Amino acid sequence: MSEQQALSQIYLDANATTPVLPKAAKAALSTMETMFGNPSSSHISGLQAKQIMDETRRKAVQVLGAGSGQVIFTSGATEGIQTGILSALCAAKGKMHAHKQYSILYGATEHKAVPESLKHWNKVLEIDAQIKAIPVDEKGTLDYDFIAKEVPNALMICTMAVNNETGVYQDLSALEMVIRGHNADVFWMVDCVQALGKRGLELANTSIDYAPFSGHKLYAPKGIGFVYIREGAPFTPFIAGGGQEGGLRSGTENLPGLAALNVIFDELLDNGDGVFANAGQLQLFRSQLALALKNAFPTVVFNHDFANSVPTTLNFAIPGFSSKEIMDLFDAANLRVSSGSACSSKVTRSFVLDAMGLPAWQSESAIRMSFGPAVTQQQIDQACDRIHHCAQALGHSCLLNATGNIDEKTQLQGLVQFKVGGSCSWLYADPVTKTAVIIDPLPELSNRLLTILQCQQLQLVAAIDTHGHADHQSGRIALAKAHLDNQHADYLGWPVETTEVEIAQRRFAAISIGDKYLVRIATPGHTEDSISLVLCDKDKLLSGALDVSYVFCGDLVLMGSLGRTNFSTSDAKQMYQSLQSLAQLVGDQSLLCPSHDYHNEFVTNFKAESSRNSLLNDVLNGAVTVEQFVERKVELDKNINDQTGEEIMCGAFTGSCTKKHLQEYNGSELKEKLQRDSQVKLIDIREPHEYALNHDQEFDMNVPLTRLTDFICQQQHNKSQELILVCRSGSRSQVAANALARLGFDNVGHLKGGYALCQSS
Ligand code: PLP
């Protein structure tokens, strides 16, 4: 283990959940081991249990300022939300007039538990109200005019006290004036989950009808929560049964959870050990973290206004980096943060920031750092140190322009693949001549590519598009402006001044890059102007042999498909010829690097493609005529629209993504394997900056996904070498292992579940 790996985690994801306060855990444990009675039993054990429950409820009433309102214990906030919505809608149903259209309102930035539950109960109870999202402004504040207009017709309105992604709070008094000013009777639920311990609540002084809370967001265990019900607000039990909670919520009470909550309430009521920092201290912690972020990442943008946010949440974006990249980076530094909300972390953008009208990049790059009131100065100091190290690591891998000599950084050599969605850009660097060529540059990558060139002190020889892209703008112009000012090139970026080389008695234009030639081969079909670029060994070519490293084939051959030929400048007949002539020239083993990778397969070759793409196979074997190819291609391209997501697909998927069998290891199996077998190569598949921050000494090498194609090229002649790939969560290692297996590497395995499952926090 490296020194850094031994660092314990700094947990800054309190809005997702918190650890249980040691004293609360102790209290919970004692109700499991000694005071374990059922509060409904009338013997002494039961009475003792009931006393804990009653005392906890008394304290809850005090903490919430619930007055004569009721507090019912639940399993968590989602149950509290059901309770509020079910109660309100059952009561509202009884008051509805036939043929009148009603609405139900909720804040556009509400936790998904609210709108999803509204939809559910609206349907189940056959209410058929129109469910409408209340817009928010750029600060996340609810639109009062919208409420004023819509609330007279509403059965229920749901708002939140504090947003879980941004920490933005609503002014509940101002909101109440608008709501009650326009509808005195509408049922009002306020999700107070993220407000507990961070905002003062005097619920009985408000006309809020229902307010759900959750224990695990404030140092109690998961599985305990509570809901406030205003005195006189209608109530329908969500769970019926043994009549616990005065018949309002049946089921034997969660005594360990209640005992833990009891301890938390003591802290909130200042009767505890004083482990919760006060508001002023929390503000200082936020300022310290914000400053550390600004120092480390000078271009950082905060996605919310600190003035109307609780001090325990920071939501930010770093230009040029996706949420996933920053999450992976911070995770490698054992700094736990979240992208958007934890419950929907597969989603690559934040609906909350979208609702606030923030630019798409901010939403796609959003990172949330959140802490609870029990955070310590030492934890914040350590977090700031790690933020600094994270930036240094990005500088080390040239993704940030950090100070430091090139010699201190890993010299880039060979091929790097960059991806934005399903599109790819390729950079090839020659370390000896310190030159580079970029193929199919995407505009989103301009800054990243420019930073790499500058940081690596590479001279750009050319930035070339393989064709005029219909689905996106080229990023070529920005690169050319910065690096190729004096170069005359055609509109695809191919330099006017080139050399000529001869391959198979045909002459082609080529440019020189280190010990390689980049040879241009016209491969029209997808578009009239499509070219393929073949990177091959210079000396060998001069002596008559073609030794190909890579073929940048644009959209001629895509992984699992052929480029579409239904554009106005497409020609399927030409594609037929292009496929045959390119395959003849480069053979079936050369690595094909297309300009799209829709299924995370990285790279391919004619052999792998023709084994799963029958049309391509038929073309290469001469089993179809040009006319038959054109006919089949027309049919194939008809499927393209069906597959269209956000991006324009450049080829219809024809092949299968069937995965080869992979050897999967768990942590102990891997350990055993490594002890048993010294021949196996262990490869860390994370990005270099993650690797630099934290890696196990046992690794033979670091091959990030961006460098997988380069690795495949280097390893082509040793495909039976046993490889075991490892990453953070087991997902990148699986994807990479599949890609290798598909290209004939027949001894590849990976660590299922990744580092995460082997590491203790
Ligand atoms: N509401 C908000 C604002 C939340 O942040 C969460 C949890 O993320 C919930 C509701 C759901 O809470 P629970 O996990 O207790 O069901």
Which atom of ligand 1 has the smallest separation from the CA of 79? 16
Q: Give the atom of ligand 1 at the shortest distance from the alpha carbon of 15.
A: 5
Q: At what angle do helices 279-296 and 377-396 cross, to 10 degrees?
A: 10
Nearest CA to ligand 1 atom 7: 16
What does the block give as tokens for 564? Answer: 């579409």
Going by pLDDT thresholds of 50, 70 and 90, the confidence category of residue 343 is very low
Of all protein residues, whose CA lies closest to atom 13 belonging to ligand 1?
A: 77
Identify the pLDDT of residue 403: 58
Dmax of the chain from CA atoms? 99
Tokens standing for 260?
């833990």
How would residue 342 be classed by pLDDT, with cut points 50, 70 and 90?
Answer: very low
Domains in the chain: boundaries:
4-13+277-396, 22-268, 420-637, 663-757
Residue 481 Cα to ligand 1 middle (Å) = 49
Looking at residue 126, its amino acid is E
Spacing, Cα 148 to ligand 1 middle (Å): 27
Shortest-distance Cα residue to atom 12 of ligand 1 = 77
CA neighbor of 189 nearest in space, from 350, 342, 353, 78: 78
Least confident of 20-34, 340-354, 369-383, 418-432: 340-354
Residue 6 scores a pLDDT above 60:
no
> Torsions phi, psi of 725, nearest 5?
-105, 145
Q: What is the DSSP letter of 429?
A: E
Atom of ligand 1 nearest to the CA of 80: 16
Token code pair at residue 282:
């929390």
Q: 301 by DSSP, 3-state: which?
A: strand
Which residue among 74, 217, 313 has the greatest number of ligand 1 atoms within 8 angstroms of its CB, and so is best to mutate? 217
Give tens-digit pLDDT for 572-598: 999 999 999 999 999 999 999 999 999
* 674/233: higher pLDDT: 233
Separation of 252 CA from ligand 1 center, angstroms? Answer: 22
- What would the pLDDT profile of 634-655 be if each residue is shown by its tens digit? 998 987 764 444 556 676 666 5
Q: Residue 18 C-alpha to ligand 1 middle, in angstroms? A: 12
Q: Average the pLDDT over each of 174-178, 499-503, 751-755 and give the range with the smallest value.
A: 751-755
Q: Which two tokens stand for residue 43?
A: 């013997």
Average predicted confidence (pLDDT) for the chain: 93
CA distance 484 to 498: 15
Residue range 119-127: average pLDDT? 98
Predicted confidence at residue 397, as pLDDT, reads: 85
Taking the CA of residue 81 as reference, the ligand 1 atom at the shortest distance is 10
pLDDT digits (tens, 9 = 90+) for 278-337: 999 999 999 999 999 999 999 999 999 999 999 999 999 999 999 999 999 999 999 999
The residue among 309, 328, 310 whose CA lies nearest residue 318 is 328
Q: Give the sign of the dihedral formed by CA 260, CA 261, CA 262, CA 263.
A: positive
Ligand 1 atom nearest the C-alpha of 76 is 15
SS3 annotation, 731-754: HHHHHHHHHHHHCCCCCEEEECCC
Pocket test for ligand 1, best of 17, 78, 313, 344 (most atoms within 8 A of CB): 78
| Antiparallel, parallel or unpaired: β 414-420 and 335-336 | unpaired
Write down the number of H helices and E strands in the chain: 24, 30
CA of 386 to the centre of ligand 1 (A): 28
For the domain 4-13+277-396, what is the CATH code?
3.90.1150.10
The CATH number assigned to the domain with range 22-268 reads: 3.40.640.10
Residues 6+ apart with CB under 8 A from 544: none
Fold of 663-757: Oxidized Rhodanese; domain 1 (3.40.250)
Q: Is 216 helix (H, G, I), strand (E, B) or coil?
A: helix
Q: Which ligand 1 atom sits closest to the C-alpha of 216? A: 15
Task: Give the per-residue pLDDT at 654.
Answer: 61
Residue nearest to atom 5 of ligand 1 (CA): 164
Q: If you measure from the C-alpha of residue 343 to the centroid of ligand 1, how many angstroms do you get, rounded to a whole number?
A: 9
**pTM score of the predicted model:** 0.90
* Per-residue pLDDT at 697: 74
- The pLDDT of 143-172, averaged and rounded, is 98
How far apart CA 165 and CA 669 sit, in angstroms, is: 39
pLDDT at 408: 67
User: Following CA atoms 532, 538, 542, 545 in sequence, which dihedral angle do they give, to the nearest 10 degrees?
Assistant: -70
Cα-to-centroid distance, 327 and ligand 1 (Å) = 21
Atom of ligand 1 nearest to the CA of 110: 3
Cβ < 6 A, ligand 1 pocket: 76-78, 111, 113, 160, 164, 191, 193-194, 214, 225, 343
Write down the catalytic residue from 90, 158, 192, 343. 343
Topology (CATH level 3) of domain 420-637: Metallo-beta-lactamase; Chain A (3.60.15)
Based on the residue annotation, tell me whether 390 is a catalytic residue of this protein.
Answer: no
- Here the tokens at position 520 are 């241009």
Nearest-CA residue for ligand 1 atom 16 is 78
CA 395 to each of CA 104, 307, 455: distance values in angstroms, whole numbers, following the listed order: 50, 32, 8
- pLDDT tens digits, 684-710: 999 999 998 988 777 889 999 999 999
- What string of DSSP letters covers 570-607? --HHHHHHHHHHHHHHH-SSSEEEESB-TTS---B-HH
**Ligand 1, from 18, 164, 216: best to mutate by most atoms within 8 Å of Cβ?**
164
Output the CA 759–ligand 1 centroid distance in Å. Answer: 27
Per DSSP, the three-state class of 507 is strand
**pLDDT at position 644, please?**
45
